[in-house]
Amino acid sequence: MSAKIFIDGESGTTGLGIRARLEIHPEIELLSLPPKQRKDPGAKQALMEQADIVVLCLPDAAARESVAIVASMGDRRPRILDASSAHRVAKGWTYGFPELGSGQAETIASAKRVANPGCYATGAIALLRPLVDKGLLPADFPVSIHAVSGYSGGGKTMILSYERGEAPSFEAYALGLEHKHVPEIERYARLARRPIFAPSVGNFAQGMLVCVPLFLGDLRSKPRGADLEAALAAHYAGGQFVKVVPAESSGKIEPQSLNGTNDLELRVFANDATGHAILVAKLDNLGKGASGAALQNLNLMLTRNPQDESMDLKAFVCSGQIM
């Protein structure tokens, strides 16, 4: 039996990515509003009443408005997958990072409301959470996170600026230290101290690197680089999309080789002689960082048994190219 899905905000970057993957799936029926009715609450509610799942690809304020419409629908309420940052740390919402920990995929599968993670947060949490859980990184450790993303993560205005050649080659931003991904990083990495997050954007369309530098001697357990790598590898063992891979011997890494995939690669660059390490996560900011992660969550939400995944959306969110 087909599932009916309404993408609220299907004309945005993430919405377009999700729609392109779902519209060719034989067991998915996509519901859509004419452009003139997309801001009509009555028309939106009527369509939502037909949907099994509503996917929100909207600015935060608009996402909250759509959630309020769903909440007013009583027994006719569809399930929600929100790709905005409005509900990632909100009460009553499940965080849509299946690899977060044991049982998280099953929790997503049964959840009524799922919040898709932020792109930067996906990389940062993937690196930090296993180390905190293993006791290698104290929860109150002063963590700093440095990241660079392709410009496609900045929305239509930024994309147009780069495509016209008007934007700088590289730009650091959010230097007011209030980036919207910080609360979810702090909560789901289980940090007891707010991290410093320094994001930046480069003159390339897609791809992302998230880096966490560490003074190993300042950690209570005095781990070596191999200890950090082993903890990460144990956490993600057997997973399909998150892999721990050896650090390049060149000491270099570029951000774009995973573009078009839902893969997330983690590396530990370490110098045990100096007691320094840099943890690095690589992902496609539009893949595992956005629409790919949404498809992975939809696959779980449409499956009673997460180990079975009977809707078989894996074919649309696979390692390698996603359609």
Determine whether 119 is an active site residue: yes
| pTM across the whole model | 0.90
| Average pLDDT over all residues of the chain | 91
Mean pLDDT of 68-95: 94
User: According to the model, what pLDDT value does residue 315 have?
Assistant: 44
Query: Domains in the chain, ordered, with CATH?
Result: 3-116+287-316 (3.40.50.720), 119-283 (3.30.360.10)
H, E, C per residue of the chain = CCEEEEEECCCCHHHHHHHHHHCCCCCEEEECCCHHHCCCHHHHHHHHCCCCEEEECCCHHHHHHHHHHHHCCHHHCCEEEECCCCCCCCCCCEECCCCCCCCHHHHHHHCCEEECCCHHHHHHHHHHHHHHHCCCCCCCCCCEEEEEEEHHHHHHHHHHHHHCCCCCCEEECCCCCCCCCHHHHHHHCCCCCCCEEEEEEECCCCCEEEEEEEEHHHCCCCCCHHHHHHHHHHHCCCCCCEEECCCCCCCCCCCCCCCCCCCEEEEEEEECCCCEEEEEEEECCCHHHHHHHHHHHHHHHCCCCCCCCCCCHHHHCCCCCCC
Mean pLDDT of 256-270: 96
- For residue range 247-261, list pLDDT tens digits in order: 999 999 999 999 999
Of 57, 119, 211, 318, which residue is the catalytic one?
Answer: 119
- For residue range 135-179, list pLDDT tens digits in order: 999 999 999 999 999 999 887 888 899 989 988 999 999 999 999
User: According to the model, what pLDDT value does residue 304 have?
Assistant: 55
Residue 233 has pLDDT above 90, yes or no: yes
User: According to the model, what pLDDT value does residue 2 have?
Assistant: 82
Give me the percent of the chain exceeding a pLDDT of 90. Answer: 78
Instruction: Tell me the pLDDT band of 318, cut-offs 50, 70 and 90.
Output: very low
